[in-house]
Amino acid sequence: MVEFHPNLSEEEIRAIVSFLGYGRPSAPVWFIGLEEGLGHMDSDDAIRNLKARGKFGRVMDLYDAHLDLEEKGRPINIENKPPSTQVWRWMAKIMLAVEGLDWRDRNLAKDYVRFRLGRADGDTFMTELSPIPAGNAKDEVWRTLFKDLDPGLDSKINERRCELKKLLKENAPPLVICYGRTRADAFAELLDLYQWGHVSSGVSASPDLRCLLLPFFGLGQMSQLVIQVLLDKQLLSSRRADLYQSGLSLSKSSLHHPSGV
């Protein structure tokens, strides 16, 4: 467990708690997780990165935002060396499957993370149920510290939830993918769903099939079988026309950086 004692101002806490996500809110595909992860940060990185998040805008480009964050004291450059997070790799694989590309190709998935995932002009928007980073779903360290620093924390979190629901309604993404089945009710509340419908083991969907509920993308809970089920049930390919109309790029060449890196 990361131990630290951050010195945060009211403005920094508000910026962290009101952060909505990475990428383009009008993108055709939204990914909604449980909370921002800590990765493999040590306590020094955690403190520096917490202060950096206090300067984030409400929506950030994933690449630009991580240049302001550090791992082992060095800026995180996703294009040169993306963090080894399973969550981003599964998002990339799903997006490749949506686009009809070889989603099992590790190099294509790596390139998607490096150059397309969560970009301001890209095809995805990445957000979380909770804006407060944590090591796992049961980690309350940062939330407890935030509440000690700001007694009005719960109100700010509720404001952020309302803003996220408003953003969802305004943009109406054709495909919303929630990951983390332990919080099925929380996802349903955010999406204004009465209930999730059973599709197969590990996969649920909204009645209109626009919203999917999948296993958590980390800790070995997600598998390639889940993506194959989504394809077999046409839960990805059936939305392709809607996604294309919403601006989805279907060009394999777009996975490569313009400089040829």
Residues of the chain with confidence (pLDDT) below 70? 1-6, 37-43, 134-140, 142, 238-241, 244, 249-261
How high is the pLDDT of residue 231? 94
How high is the pLDDT of residue 87? 95
DSSP 259: T
14-31: per-residue pLDDT in tens?
A: 888 999 999 999 999 999
Name residues whose C-beta falls within 8 Å of residue 90's C-beta, 6 or more positions apart in sequence.
Answer: 179, 217, 222
Long-range contacts formed by 55-61: CB under 8 A, 24+ apart = 55/12, 55/15, 56/15, 56/16, 56/19, 58/18, 58/19, 58/20, 58/163, 59/20, 59/21, 59/22, 59/23, 59/25, 60/19, 60/21, 60/22, 61/22, 61/23, 61/118, 61/119, 61/120
Read off the tokens for 44: 């020094």
How high is the pLDDT of residue 160? 94
Domain boundaries, the chain: 10-247
CB 236 within 8 A of CB 97: yes
Strands 211-214 and 203-205: antiparallel
DSSP 133: E
Q: Is 143 exposed, middle or buried (0-12, 13-18, 19+ CB in 10 A)?
A: middle
How high is the pLDDT of residue 2? 46
Query: 14-40 burial string, b = 16+ CB within 10 Å, else e?
Result: bbbbbbbbbbbbebbbbbbbbbbbbbe
CB 148 within 8 A of CB 126: no
How high is the pLDDT of residue 253? 42
> Distances from the Cα of 30 to the Cαs of 20, 38, 76, 119, 149, in angstroms?
12, 21, 23, 12, 32
Question: Between vectors from CA 34 to CA 157 and to CA 70, what angle results, nearest 5°?
Answer: 85
Name residues whose C-beta falls within 8 Å of residue 244's C-beta, 6 or more positions apart in sequence.
Answer: 28, 250
25-61: per-residue pLDDT in tens?
A: 999 999 999 987 655 555 677 778 888 888 899 999 9
Candidate CATH numbers 3.40.50, 3.40.470, 3.30.70, 2.30.30; the one for domain 10-247: 3.40.470
How high is the pLDDT of residue 73? 79
DSSP 206: -
The three-state secondary structure class of 154 is: helix
CB 108 within 8 A of CB 101: yes
Q: Which helix (H) or strand (E) holds 212?
A: strand 211-214
Nearest to 50 by CA among 119, 118, 146: 146
pTM of the model: 0.88
